[in-house]
Amino acid sequence: MVKTITNVSKLKDTDYFETPKKEFLDACYFFGVMPTLDVCATSQNTKCHEYFSCGALEKDWNQYTDTVAYMNPPYSQSKAWVKYAYMQHVKHNMTILALLQSHTGNSYFHNYIVEKAEILFWRGRIRFLQDGVVPKDPPKFDSMFVLWRKKI
């Protein structure tokens, strides 16, 4: 049985949205990748075996040979995370999968995603988890998965 949050104000107080496993795996299948490092995670919500719980914007993400990184960043800091992810992709020629709000008018979308990454616009609203629980209502924003693919 799936628990639901009935107090949606709890979701409005945060910009940390936990990726549901099904949507994560669907995006991995769509792009043909399987991330090994979650750069925005805790031990409770990581989608990968390895994860950073803090300081990811000050670390290199190429921890191992052929590291594929995943990020679902705090959305209030999307610009910084998207820019850093793109820079890590370029610097280390690595694959990075990101789950982001689909705000296509933002400068970071045009500077670091358009013509630099593959995009999967998610149909419908993703019901992000909060402390492992599915909220009653979906968020008020659309989502997209972005993939910066390693150049061969």
Sequence spans of domains, the chain: 20-144
pLDDT value of position 15: 66
- Taking the model in full, what pTM does it have? 0.87
pLDDT value of position 14: 59
Across the chain, mean pLDDT equals 88
SS3 content of the chain, % helix, strand, coil (to 5): 30, 20, 50
pLDDT value of position 10: 42
Contact, 41 vs 52, CB < 8 A? Answer: yes
pLDDT for 6 beyond 50: no
pLDDT value of position 90: 97
pLDDT value of position 72: 96
- 3-state class (DSSP) for residue 147: strand
Sort strands 143-148 and 118-121 into parallel, antiparallel or unpaired: antiparallel
Alpha-helical runs (H) found in the chain:
9-12, 21-31, 78-92, 107-112
pLDDT value of position 89: 97
Confidence band of 128 (pLDDT split at 50, 70, 90): confident
